[in-house]
Structure 1
């Protein structure tokens, strides 16, 4: 993926966002390519009752919000918020498209990131539509381990029960029951109140 140094060289600007600060709202026109320098960003949709559905959680080195830069409808399909104090680099859409064609490798990496995100959305849709809460949860945990964890060995999840509920379309109470059932079956363990998956 593009590095922070590349984005700065292309004209990117670092911005600090305290936890809870909105980066952009659903429906706003996409003006920037964003990457997390530090902290954590959550993209989400909210319904009329205030229930959130998390579209993605992004950490250091992850880009986010780029799909509408490439589409006819340039509006963000979800809102983004700093889920922890965060430093984000943003590069204007114009600067992004001025530089990207000159860097084949970066273009390929962005295409791969978008394809991986599309694969994730397809997986989530499939899980929500037909599988049990335990299966949905275990699939999500395995996905996060494969994306952010080590190739082998245990991985401690840094996702809260609420985040897991919002990612899988479940209620928090259902997530708690599913975690206990998966622990009983030996599919995961709880260590210091954190979910650990092998």
Structure 2
């Protein structure tokens, strides 16, 4: 993707946060946006650095994480295309509380604090959309805390594999087979689920031995969605 020919308005119109804006309003926001290209492994920001914008992933992936003094990482979130991050800190005027690193070659759209605040002043409905996005992230984090506190490692991993297939037709009586592509390395996903890489791999192979999944590097084929969901409660 060539930033010189990138259609900023088209990207903004595809995002829920900006989709209800008029072309003129999106044009104003676009004037306050910058494209930033990161190579795999590049750091985007670190804990303590000033937050002057929030960001949207146009392509690629961003890992948000914290690190202990010994260097051990805890992955907070993996941000994929079309999703945004750091919105709340723009309003709080506080420095970043997590680190951000590119998991792959990534193109970001950074929306300046000034552009956001100017649109908020023009249209209160824009504020409500921002609040909705921040609330969804907060709800997701609360669900994570609940999962870590109340669910076993096995349940967390199965829940992660089934996160996008909750609406599968359970009444058909026929096995539903799907393939899930892990968006990052197994070690990164393990950290996201607060599991050790060794335990993560052990559980995957246990599920494979039970005939529930087949593993091909980052491709996980779920052989029967309903059996796997049922196994989660064992």
Residue-by-residue CA offset, 1:89-116 (whole Å, 9 max, x unaligned): 1121111111134345544443232222
Match of 1:181 in 2: 206
Please say if residues 186 and 197 of structure 2, whose CA atoms lie closer than 8 Å, have aligned partners that are also in contact. yes
Q: Which residue of 2 aligns with 1:66?
A: 87
Q: 1:76 to 1:138 in 2, by over 3 A?
A: same
Return 5+ residue gaps in structure 1 as ranges.
Answer: none
Deviates more, 1:183-192 or 1:18-27: 183-192
CA distance in 2, matches of 1:13, 1:130: 42
Q: Which residue of 2 aligns with 1:57?
A: 78
Residues 1:165 and 2:190 aligned together: yes
Find the aligned partners of 2:140 and 2:97 in 1 and give their Cα distance: 16
Name the structure with the higher strand share. 1
User: Max radius of gyration: which structure?
Assistant: 2
When residues 141 and 101 of structure 1 are mapped into structure 2, their CA distance, relative to the original with a 3 A threshold, is farther
Q: Which runs of 4+ in 1 moved over 6 A?
A: 150-153
Give the TM-score of the pair, scaled to structure 2. 0.71
Question: CA 1:176–1:28 in 2, change beyond 3 Å: closer, same or farther?
Answer: same
1:114 aligns with 2:138: no
> Is 1:9 equivalent to 2:33 in the alignment?
no
Change (3 A) 1:192 1:76: closer
Which position in structure 2 is the counterpart of 1:130? 150
CA contact (8 A) 1:30 1:74 kept: yes
Larger RCO (alpha carbons 8 Å, 6+ apart): 1
CA distance in 2 between partners of 1:104 and 1:196 (Å): 45
Unaligned runs of at least 5 residues, structure 2: 1-15, 170-175, 226-234
Q: What is the Cα deviation at residue 187 of structure 1?
A: 5.0
SS in 1 for 2:78: strand
1:39 and 2:60 matched: yes
List per-residue Cα deviations over 1:120-172 (Å, max 9, x = no partner).
211221222232110111223333x369xx99972422332111211011110
Count of aligned residue pairs for this structure pair:
194
Supply the RMSD in Å over aligned alpha carbons: 2.9
Q: Which moved more, 1:172-181 or 1:101-110?
A: 101-110
Q: Please identify, of 121-130 and 170-179, the stretch whose mean Cα deviation from structure 2 is larger.
A: 121-130
In 1, Cα distance between the equivalents of 2:142 and 2:108? 27
